């Protein structure tokens, strides 16, 4: 996402005025003495400036109590317990229902793809499931598979349209990773040679040492994966028995 930290937002807010339909707010007058919730909502606002496809003004989005903008993981789990039902105050859910404007590039029974309203590059797009899940781990494997299966055809169309020959596939999963909208989504970010999009590309990467520390890390991950696989198998067996 374009704004991935509160720091990024406050840097941008010195010069930006954001517009929603006929209403505007100047971020310079908004940046001081905020509560944590208000600051999170501001980041959400900076990322989602709706694009109006019709002649009528874009609607003012009500973001005051968005479940997708909350920083509480417990709240996300509560909403996820509703088995992917659409949320009234989630911007992505509104787009799915056709209540919020967006440029839809692709649409099927399980997911849709839209242009990001604050793109990092020309053609920056989002693949969004039509059901509401706050994080990748809360999203059913079948839904993730459906989203990922569309990446080749969608990315190919985006690259051809933008004259790009590469793209980044990105998921910001969790607050520390820069997730701002807590409705699972995948970024497709078209790339061109020497576009200098990521600062990290100029940093020197450390070589992995085949030492005891790396061995412990690999073993720990392997054990967790093995345990998870066993638990999944038990759940499947239990479901088959019940049926």
Sign of the Cα torsion 226, 231, 232, 233 reads positive
Quick check: 150 and 128 in contact, CB under 8 A? no
Cα gap 158→190, rounded to integer Å: 7
Query: How many other C-beta atoms lie within 10 A of the C-beta of residue 24?
Result: 9
Residue 185 · residue 150 · CB < 8 Å: no
Q: Which of 76, 124, 132, 185 is flagged as catalytic?
A: 185
Nearest alpha-carbon partner for 24 in 53, 57, 2, 55: 57
124 is catalytic: no
Chain length of the chain? 243
Catalytic sites, residue numbers: 185
């Amino acid at each position: 996402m374009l704004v991935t930290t509160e720091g990024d937002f406050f840097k941008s807010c010195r010069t930006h005025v954001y517009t929603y339909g006929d209403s505007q707010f100047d971020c310079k007058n908004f940046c001081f003495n905020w509560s944590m919730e208000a600051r999170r909502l501001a980041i959400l606002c900076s990322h989602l400036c709706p694009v109006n496809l019709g002649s009528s003004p874009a609607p003012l989005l009500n973001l005051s109590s968005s479940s997708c903008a909350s920083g509480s993981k417990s709240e996300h789990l509560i909403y996820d317990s509703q088995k992917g039902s659409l949320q009234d105050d989630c911007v992505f859910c509104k787009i799915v229902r056709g209540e919020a404007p967006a440029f839809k590039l692709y649409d099927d029974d399980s997911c849709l793809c839209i242009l990001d309203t604050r793109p990092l590059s020309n053609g920056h797009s989002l693949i969004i499931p039509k059901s509401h899940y706050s994080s990748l781990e809360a999203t059913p494997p079948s839904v993730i598979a459906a989203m990922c299966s569309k990446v080749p055809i969608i990315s190919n169309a985006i690259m051809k349209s933008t004259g790009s020959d590469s793209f980044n596939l990105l998921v910001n999963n969790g607050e520390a990773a820069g997730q701002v909208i807590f409705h699972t989504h995948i970024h497709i970010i078209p790339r061109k040679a020497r576009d200098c999009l990521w600062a990290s590309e100029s940093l020197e990467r450390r070589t992995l040492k085949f030492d005891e520390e790396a061995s412990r890390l690999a073993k720990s991950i392997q054990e967790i994966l093995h345990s998870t696989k066993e638990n999944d198998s038990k759940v499947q067996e239990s479901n088959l028995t019940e049926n």
